[in-house]
């Protein structure tokens, strides 16, 4: 009986010894295995965004306030762009950095006989820096190219504020500084080189979230030194009832407001093909500056928009609509 007990004791001891050895070996092996390092988060990224848009509208007022076509025209304006997000860090003072570029064309679909249908091509490139959580600064080079020859070089700087965290409706205030560097003037009666300032807001709302329909209300005022609109050198006398009197001088160019509606088509077009939309809108312009009104008699897609200063359009409505996608 004692032999049996001894045998059992030896067997149990061997099993326990073997288990301890296995556990020790496993622990030793685990200690010797290389520890996988936790990936360190980096703010340096390379996110690619872009899009295409085709817009149709009834006329155009340039950013400097020049009415280019009769208000019953038909214009087609395709554009495409690409943006690279390079840096993102919401916890740093510099929150983001992106570079971008794009191209835009305009064609006058119902141009008068012997008038060019393709009227302009623009291209631009620049960068945007996000900082202090709510602010952004954009700087870009913009070049206007014309089929008849010639080009205009411009530089554009915009400081914007994202106030969406403060109010039920974000107003998105901004100020833009636009400098005409070469090939100007921006308007025929203005000085060759000049700077204008635009102060604006662009409130945006989505009234009912289940319906992907949003509305934006862009509103702004554009001002500059009076010479930007009227160089006043004796060659700019196109005002008055006889179209040959000096135009009054003013630092205010024009004010504008409008409404743009955009409906997303995610329910109809798969996201893998981009985020498609349809859009429509109407913009109102009130031309304050007499020199801008006088410009309508001497320039407009190669012909005067109006024949006399008295007939110049001070209040202008422009309708637009189109489609596009982004990714």
- Residues 33-68: tens digit of each pLDDT: 556 666 668 999 999 999 999 999 999 999 999 999
Counting residues of the chain whose pLDDT is more than 90, the rounded percentage is: 82
The answer to whether the Cα torsion of 304, 306, 307, 309 is positive or negative is: negative
List Cβ neighbours of 321 (8 Å cut-off, separation of 6 or more).
55, 56, 57, 278, 279, 280, 281
User: How big is the chain, counted in residues?
Assistant: 327
Hey, how many other C-beta atoms are within 10 angstroms of the C-beta on 311?
12
Peptide bond into 289 cis (omega under 30): no
**Domain ranges (residues) in the chain:** 44-67+77-326
Q: What is the dihedral of CA 297, 300, 305, 310, to 10 degrees?
A: -30
Question: Looking at domain 44-67+77-326, what is its CATH homologous superfamily?
Answer: Nucleoside-specific channel-forming protein, Tsx-like (2.40.230.20)
In the chain, which residues have pLDDT < 50? 1-30, 301-302
Q: How far apart are CA 126 and CA 119, in angstroms?
A: 24
Straight-line distance from the first to the last Cα atom of the chain, in angstroms, rounded to the nearest whole number: 84
State residue 13's pLDDT score: 47
CB 252 within 8 A of CB 293: no
State residue 238's pLDDT score: 95
How does DSSP classify residue 115? S
State residue 302's pLDDT score: 47
CA angle at 117 for the pair 292 and 305, rounded to the nearest 5° = 25
CA distance to 201, 254, 277, 305, per residue, from 104 (Å): 24, 24, 19, 23
State residue 41's pLDDT score: 80
- What is this structure's pTM? 0.86
Q: How far apart are CA 164 and CA 225, in angstroms?
A: 33
């Amino acid at each position: 009986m004692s032999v049996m007990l001894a045998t059992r004791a030896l067997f149990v001891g061997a099993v326990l010894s073997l288990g301890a050895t296995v556990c020790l070996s496993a622990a030793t092996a685990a200690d010797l295995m290389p520890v996988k390092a936790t990936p360190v988060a980096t703010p340096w990224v390379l996110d690619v965004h872009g899009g295409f848009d085709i817009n149709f509208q009834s006329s155009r007022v340039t950013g400097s306030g020049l009415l280019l076509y009769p208000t019953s025209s038909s214009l087609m304006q395709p554009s495409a762009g690409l943006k690279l997000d390079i840096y993102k860090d919401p916890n740093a003072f510099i929150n983001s950095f992106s570079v971008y570029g794009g191209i835009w064309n305009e064609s006058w679909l119902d141009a008068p006989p012997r008038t060019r249908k393709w009227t302009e091509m623009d291209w631009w490139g620049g960068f945007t820096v996000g900082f202090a959580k709510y602010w952004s600064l954009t700087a870009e080079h913009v070049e206007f190219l014309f089929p008849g020859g010639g080009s205009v070089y411009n530089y554009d700087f915009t400081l914007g504020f994202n106030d969406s965290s403060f109010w039920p409706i974000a107003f998105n205030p901004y100020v833009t500084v636009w400098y005409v560097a070469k090939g100007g003037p921006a308007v025929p009666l203005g000085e060759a080189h000049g700077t204008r300032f635009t102060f604006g807001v662009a409130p945006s709302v989505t009234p009912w979230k289940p319906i992907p329909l949003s509305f934006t209300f862009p509103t702004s005022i554009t001002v500059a030194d009076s010479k930007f609109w009227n160089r006043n050198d004796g060659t700019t006398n196109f005002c008055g009832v006889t179209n040959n009197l000096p135009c009054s001088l003013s630092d205010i160019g024009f004010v504008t407001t409008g409404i743009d509606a955009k409906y997303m088509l995610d329910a109809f077009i798969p996201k893998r093909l981009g985020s498609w939309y349809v859009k429509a809108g109407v913009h109102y312009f009130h031309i304050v500056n007499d020199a801008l009104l006088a410009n309508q008699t001497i320039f407009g897609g190669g012909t005067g928009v109006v024949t006399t200063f008295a007939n110049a359009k001070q209040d202008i409505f422009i309708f637009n609509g189109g489609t596009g996608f982004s990714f």
